[in-house]
Amino acid sequence: EVQLVQSGAEVKKPGESLKISCKNSGYSFTSYWIGWVRQMPGKGLEWMGIIYPGDSDTRYSPSFQGQVTISADKSISTAYLQWSSLKASDTAMYYCARLTVGATFVYFDYWGQGTLVTVSS
């Protein structure tokens, strides 16, 4: 059974750093892309970026380039999303999801449960 299990909710202050995780099981972690998706309170889904754990190829949506860092540790089948200096506007739910890619399609077929990040002074 494919499972993506994310780390727990975080409450941080502006300027602090943070790294959240997404533990994958039930499939070959190095054979699929993993993506991160942001959902701000009461808003829609936003594609942040993706990583291919097999070779660590990472691609960021232009809106998130330079704002976050996506990484993966294939030895423990875990993907990460990190911030070096949080802002109040980073307050959101963050989802990881497994991405299947074809020549003309992409889809996120399995999702983590989400990690709520709250940034407040």
Partner 1 sequence: SSELTQDPAVSVALGQTVKITCQGDSLRSYSASWYQQKPGQAPVFVMYGKNNRPSGIPDRFSGSSSGNTASLTITGAQAEDEADYYCNSRDGSGNHGVFGTGTKVTVL
Residues forming the site for partner 1 (CB under 8 A): 35, 37, 44-47, 50, 59-62, 95, 97, 99, 104-114
Minimum distance from residue 110 beta carbon to partner 1 (Å) = 8
> Which class for 20: exposed (0-12), middle (13-18), buried (19 or more C-beta within 10 A)?
buried
- Residue closer to partner 1 (CB basis): 16 or 40: 40
Nearer to partner 1 among residue 8 and residue 62 (C-beta): 62
Q: Counting beta carbons within 10 angstroms of the beta carbon of residue 68, is it exposed (0 to 12), middle (13 to 18) or buried (19 or more)?
A: buried
* CB of 18 or CB of 97, closer to partner 1: 97
* DSSP 8-class letter at 76: T
